[in-house]
Amino acid sequence: MRFGCVFMPILLCLVVSAKAEIYIVTVEGEPVVSYKGGVDGFEATAVESDDDHHHHDKVDSTSEVVVSYARHLEKRHDMLLGMLFESGTYDKLYSYRHLINGFAVDLSPEQAETLRHAPGVKSVERDWKVKRLTTHTPEFLGLPTGVWPSGGGHDRAGEDIVIGLVDSGIYPHHPSFTTYNTEPYGPVSRYRGKCEVDPDTKRSFCNGKIIGAQHFARAAIAAGAFNPIVDFASPLDGDGHGSHTASIAAGRNGIPVRMYGHEFGKASGMAPRARIAVYKALYRLFGGFVADVVAAIDQAVHDGVDILSLSVGPNSPPSNTKTSFLNPFDATLLGAVKAGVFVAQAAGNGGPFPKSLVSYSPWIATVAAAIDDRRYKNHLILGNGKIIAGIGLSPSTRLNNTYTLVAANDVLLDSSVIKYSPTDCQRPEVLNKNLIKGNILLCGYSYNFVVGSASIKKVSETAKALGAVGFVLCVENVYPGAKFDPVPVGLPGILITDVSKSKELIDYYNISTPRDWTGRVKSFKGTGKIEDGLMPILHKSAPQVALFSARGPNIKDFSFQEADLLKPDILAPGSLIWGAWSLNGTDEPNYVGKGFAMISGTSMAAPHIAGIAALIKQKHPHWSPAAIKSALMTTSTTLDRAGNPILAQQYSETEAMNLVKATPFDYGSGHVNPRAALDPGLIFDAGYEDYLGFLCTTPGIDVHEIKNYTNSPCNYTMGHPSNLNTPSITVSHLVRTRIVTRTVTNVADEEETYVITARMQPAVAIDVNPPAMTIKAGASRKFSVTLTVRSVTGTYSFGEVLMKGNRGHKVRIPVLANGYSR
């Protein structure tokens, strides 16, 4: 207890203690990643400056120099707190030393106010919550034939690259992460993360494939949100989400996905041989706290990961930071990029609404979610010959047999059970088994399914317990925001999602079911049979942007002012993705106790990019994070399989879903194409100094705020934020004319001549100069793009710059401009 409670009643005491909050504090002085010397007795620890962009070597975190400087910073944190407050009135949770210089501390709002005014303190932010952004994809992306052979086949794809996952932990015994029958994994000398041991079994969480495993829960514990029984005080996944994202990025190749006796295919990660480093900071019921997530990122970079995958984003904007790019999250990630780590972050699941992104900064690769080419469909065939389409990953009822249809509300045991909303078939004990046995049970989809208190898995279990041969779940009302994902079930079953189709079925049932004057059924005469829904139909209209995927425009501050920077960056598969699941995972009611789950979310899209980035890093070990991101973006595609422009799922006026032509606000530069990304020809490189220049040039950002978070003064400007050397061009307020410059570097083995062309929607004129250029291997050249307002439309005009090389390289970047006046 933090307060003397001798004379107070205990209850009051608890109320007083609960007033304490968690704060993230930054203080003066350089963190390890950017300390260039100057403090007596401590040598420089900074990464070499960015003059030579594409050779980023990491900080050697075990060196005596780093350890002693980090210790010095921590002592200063403790001294500051010890000078200001009495011991016992506060609780320091973490000292951040590597990427930002500061600490997380649990104290009262009054104490926080004192800290705010203390000398040497730069910022005090109240902690806020984050949430997780909830297998056929390797083939869909062309990895087995196009990419893995160049990395030495799937046995070598991602060899010795370490992918750090900040998520809900891992289920280490899952076949996707085991090391049976694989070539032994040797040590990776530059990675030095800890391996926690399971407190119950005393076994290590690591096995060579999993190379590091730690958990971060101090903020969760201090906030009273942590329950060790379900959350596990270890890296064990109590949710499923973390095992799933890890298996997408780096799960073993060819692991059979079996459920209810059916094999749905073989699961594989994008980089099957890459190592997995687990940093658990998310928990199943409450998500997580920024203080824990920042500690996890700080540790991961310190340990030496190559790639960071973050399927997590802030729930809501933080309180004090006005600038989206400088919330503690993004500021920490800027340090990660400075240390040479590539960061993939989920765009968020707030789509399809504009400005719904939760990932903002140019130093992060922000990933949107696509639907790939698998669709699961099933059919119910009625006694009158009508075929009703629906979804259900289920076997068929017996061939050539038809069965009687029985509606749940016609077989209630007695009328008193109405209060249990019996039609959603969640409780077998309220329904009459004698009337259901051997028949097909009809159930109603209610709001309980939307909020998760009812599940399709439970409908299937109810039907089975009552002896039904199958079940039908009808959706009779439109539920805005409801996602109907096919769920694997052991019993024949189908979910009819189209309201008009449900009406057809109900009309047929009512006509063919005679009743007496009280409405009681005399005899059940309606019949039907359920077809097989286990085989996916491969569609040519893939990929499409998923409805839930968060959309641009990007914002520069939390009053939602538009930024001169495109987000999201890239589109990757994120809908109905099979992956590993934790046997004690509870995040998805339909997959409780299962070893695999098929779920959707930008959470699933980010690890696809992290895994593909690992393959690029394996081939080009010295590339900067910006170079890897550029390679992914400039080689992406804006066409679907059939060669038509990619479509995006959107809501129509009636709240039904429809498809519209996608724009860069939906997919960034387009859908990832891993094969082309390994050999992009040209890259748009950038480093820490460029990102600093971008911040310093963005209008409305407070220079002090920049200095607080980066410890760097603004002594360099790029004229306009749209001049940041990104593989996209965005001008949110185009007045008359603007000239934007870009620099490209030839990363191929030989000289190449590129012809540069551009096109744009008619409201804005576009011009490029020079029209062609020859670039030697390893050399860089500038070009400029002139944008001129032709007519003011009040919306963005979209276009692109295309660079075609005479050795076959194609480089494309999106261009967006909103013309305000001519």
Question: 794-813, pLDDT tens digit by residue?
Answer: 899 999 999 999 999 999 99
* The two structure tokens encoding residue 433: 């088994």
* The two structure tokens encoding residue 784: 């400029």
> Would residue 167 show up in a list of annotated catalytic residues for this protein?
yes
pLDDT of residue 621: 94
Q: Which of 56, 98, 154, 241 is catalytic?
A: 241
Strand order in the sheet with 21-27: 91-96, 102-107, 21-27, 121-126
Which 8-state DSSP code applies to residue 570? E
Which 8-state DSSP code applies to residue 48? P
* The two structure tokens encoding residue 37: 């010397």
pLDDT of residue 191: 93
Tell me the residue type at 418. Answer: I
For residue 175, say if its preceding peptide bond is cis, omega within 30 degrees of 0. Answer: no
**Distance (Å, rounded) from C-alpha 706 to C-alpha 704?**
5
* The two structure tokens encoding residue 789: 């307002």
Beta bridge partners of 59: none
Contacts of residue 633, defined as CB under 8 A and 6 or more positions apart, other chains included, come to 569, 570, 668, 669, 670, 727, 728, 813
C-alpha gyration radius of the chain: 28
Containing 818, the helix (H) or strand (E) segment is strand 810-821
286-313 burial: b if 16+ Cβ within 10 Å, else e? bbbbbbbbbbbbbbbbbbbbbbbbbbbb
Helices (H) and strands (E) in the chain, counts: 20, 39
**Distance (Å, rounded) from C-alpha 323 to C-alpha 360?**
10
Beta bridge partners of 256: 266
Q: Which of 394, 603, 636, 722 is catalytic?
A: 603
CA 400 to chain centre: 45
Contacts of residue 6, defined as CB under 8 A and 6 or more positions apart, other chains included, come to none
**Distance (Å, rounded) from C-alpha 342 to C-alpha 274?**
15
How many CB atoms are located within 10 Å of the residue 643 CB?
7
Nearest partner of 710 among 24, 25, 28, judged by Cα: 28
Q: What is the pLDDT of residues 449-506, one digit of tens each?
A: 766 778 888 898 999 999 999 999 888 876 655 566 767 777 888 888 888 888 888 8
pLDDT of residue 134: 47
Contact call for residues 272 and 177 (beta carbons, < 8 A) = no
* Residue 197, helix vs strand vs coil: strand
Q: What angle do CA 554, 659, 244 make, to 5 degrees?
A: 65
Nearest partner of 785 among 732, 723, 705, judged by Cα: 723
CA distances from 55 to 300, 358, 617, 710 (A): 21, 30, 12, 22
Containing 502, the helix (H) or strand (E) segment is helix 499-511
Beta-strand relationship, 365-371 and 544-545: antiparallel
**Distance (Å, rounded) from C-alpha 524 to C-alpha 516?**
12
Give a three-class secondary structure readout of 576-640.
CEEEECCCCCCCCHHHCCCCEEEECCHHHHHHHHHHHHHHHHHHCCCCCHHHHHHHHHHCCECEC
pLDDT of residue 261: 56
Nearest partner of 395 among 292, 571, 264, judged by Cα: 264
Residue with tokens 């707190």: 81
pLDDT of residue 530: 83
* Residue 5, helix vs strand vs coil: coil
Residues of the chain where predicted confidence (pLDDT) is lower than 70: 1-20, 47-62, 130-155, 254-267, 285-286, 313-321, 372-376, 393, 415-420, 450-451, 478-484, 486, 533-542, 575-602, 652-657
Burial of residue 370, with CB atoms counted within 10 A of its CB: 0-12 exposed, 13-18 middle, 19 or more buried: buried
Strand order in the sheet with 129-132: 288-289, 129-132, 312-314
| pTM of the entire predicted model | 0.78
Q: Which domains does the chain have, with CATH numbers?
A: 21-48+60-126 (no CATH), 152-366+551-630 (3.40.50.200), 378-535 (3.50.30.30), 687-719 (no CATH), 725-820 (2.60.40.2310)
Which 8-state DSSP code applies to residue 810? E
**Distance (Å, rounded) from C-alpha 675 to C-alpha 672?**
9
pLDDT of residue 297: 92
CA distances from 251 to 117, 158, 166, 344 (A): 49, 11, 16, 17
Beta bridge partners of 126: 23
**Distance (Å, rounded) from C-alpha 474 to C-alpha 471?**
10
Q: Which of 50, 160, 167, 564 is catalytic?
A: 167
Nearest partner of 390 among 440, 437, 433, 432, judged by Cα: 440
pLDDT of residue 251: 80
Give a three-class secondary structure readout of 708-751.
HHHCCCCCCCCCCHHHCCCCCEEEEEEECEEEEEEEEEECCCCC
pLDDT of residue 136: 40
Q: What angle do CA 486, 490, 495 make, to 5 degrees?
A: 35
Q: What angle do CA 237, 242, 243 make, to 5 degrees?
A: 80
> Would residue 319 show up in a list of annotated catalytic residues for this protein?
no
**Distance (Å, rounded) from C-alpha 296 to C-alpha 285?**
19
**Distance (Å, rounded) from C-alpha 495 to C-alpha 422?**
17
| Max Cα-Cα span within the chain | 96
371-383 burial: b if 16+ Cβ within 10 Å, else e? bbbbebebbbbbb
**Distance (Å, rounded) from C-alpha 269 to C-alpha 609?**
11
> Would residue 292 show up in a list of annotated catalytic residues for this protein?
no
